[in-house]
Amino acid sequence: MKKIYLIVFSLILYLGGFAQNSFPTDSAMWKVTYLDQGYGDQYFDLYKLIGDTIISDTTYSKLYFSHFALLSDSLLDNIDPQSYLGGFRQENNKVWFKPKNWEYSNILIYDFNLNINEYIEYYVYFSENGEFFIPSHQYPRQLYIMSIEEGNNTLIYNTGGGCGSMWYYGMGSNLGPLAPLYYYAIGNPCNRVLSCFKHNDTVKYLNSFCNQCFCPFVNIDKVITEEINIYPNPTEDILNIKVSENEKNKTISIRSIDGKLIEIHQEALTQLNISNLRAGVFIVEVETDRGNFNKLVIKK
């Protein structure tokens, strides 16, 4: 049986720029890819804003969601997600979400008025089956704005979150439209990344690995995956890299969750010291004679 890994892709922003609103109000689509699943299948979450509704004299943009396997680019524009999650509304550069049948106050998801070192608090969990809940034992999570950059006609907010979250003015998080909320799932909650965002039939955010919204998983020979091991994971400082004698290790690279190269080592190494990296999720790539091995690593 072959183990499935997703070839790491970097993400680019098209020069067309984002909308003037802090968040889209209609005709928007996000496709979230699950990284490093290892289940032998390909999984994607598809979110779409379709129409609006009036709740207590306030207009909300309706968000729909579906969980797919084997979803291709040719199907994206022709499939509408079936599960209605709730509605977004925005005012003064703030974006709220109201889940369907929600008895509590609207959830503030984005605040683009925040300055560096200011934060937003989250109490709500969002599960992989599309349910929202507030656990009684959970303390609020504070998400700080670490930096604000200008890039390709939009503002990029680095939140310094544990999953490498960044906000894009006019789109939302690079992990998905609801990603700032707690994500409740079996396994690594940081294994998702936004691979495509379309607004008004125009691609505004796209992975550059295959230049389309859908990037297929690539099989790596089982022998390679068995002969390379990266541990411990999570770690605070030292990563051990075990490569068998059958593999010739050429280079080791560390990338951010959005594919940006952080450092590269041209020589064979058995250890990496990542204590200088901030807490979060990173990608370690080992290049060998027979192919590349990619592993998601959590820095505590």
Does 226 share its domain with 250?
Answer: yes
Does 138 share its domain with 61?
Answer: yes
pLDDT in tens, 37-84: 444 445 778 899 999 999 889 999 999 988 765 545 555 555 566 688
Please indicate whether residue 299 or residue 216 has the higher confidence score (pLDDT).
Answer: 299
**Residue 284 pLDDT greater than 70, yes or no:** yes
> Residue written as tokens 């080592």?
265
| Residue 216 is assigned to a structural domain of this protein | no
Amino acid at 158: N
The pLDDT of residue 8 is 33
Please indicate whether residue 295 or residue 161 has the higher confidence score (pLDDT).
Answer: 295
Close Cβ partners of 78 (under 8 Å, ≥ 6 residues apart): none
Range 96-123 average pLDDT = 91
Residue where a domain terminates, one of 148, 173, 207: 207
3-state secondary structure of 68: strand
| Residue 22 is assigned to a structural domain of this protein | yes
The pLDDT of residue 218 is 41
CATH number at residue 238: 2.60.40.3080
Give me the percent of the chain exceeding a pLDDT of 70. 68
Average pLDDT value for the chain: 75
The pLDDT of residue 229 is 81
| Residue 293 is assigned to a structural domain of this protein | yes
| Residue 214 is assigned to a structural domain of this protein | no
Residue where a domain terminates, one of 207, 233, 268: 207
Q: Residue 35's pLDDT band (boundaries 50, 70, 90)?
A: low
**Residue 219 pLDDT greater than 60, yes or no:** no
For residue 92, give its domain range: 3-207
Close Cβ partners of 96 (under 8 Å, ≥ 6 residues apart): 88, 89, 90, 106, 107, 108, 109
Does 118 share its domain with 10?
Answer: yes
The pLDDT of residue 147 is 86
| Residue 23 is assigned to a structural domain of this protein | yes
- Count of domains observed in the chain: 2
How many angstroms separate the CA atoms of 73 and 90, rounded?
A: 30
Does 127 share its domain with 65?
Answer: yes
Close Cβ partners of 176 (under 8 Å, ≥ 6 residues apart): 30, 32, 45, 47, 192, 194
Does 75 share its domain with 186?
Answer: yes
The pLDDT of residue 5 is 34
Does 150 share its domain with 250?
Answer: no
**Which element (helix H / strand E) includes 271?**
strand 271-273
| Residue 215 is assigned to a structural domain of this protein | no
Q: Residue 249's pLDDT band (boundaries 50, 70, 90)?
A: low
CB atoms within 10 A of CB 278: 12
The pLDDT of residue 49 is 93
Does 185 share its domain with 237?
Answer: no
Instruction: Please give the span between the terminal C-alpha atoms of the chain, in angstroms, as a whole number.
Output: 32
> How many CA atoms within 13 Å lie on the side-chain side of 197?
25
Spatial contact of 230 and 238, defined as CB atoms under 8 Å apart: no
Range 142-158 average pLDDT = 79
3-state secondary structure of 227: helix
Please indicate whether residue 233 or residue 239 has the higher confidence score (pLDDT).
Answer: 239
Does 113 share its domain with 178?
Answer: yes
**Residue 14 pLDDT greater than 50, yes or no:** no
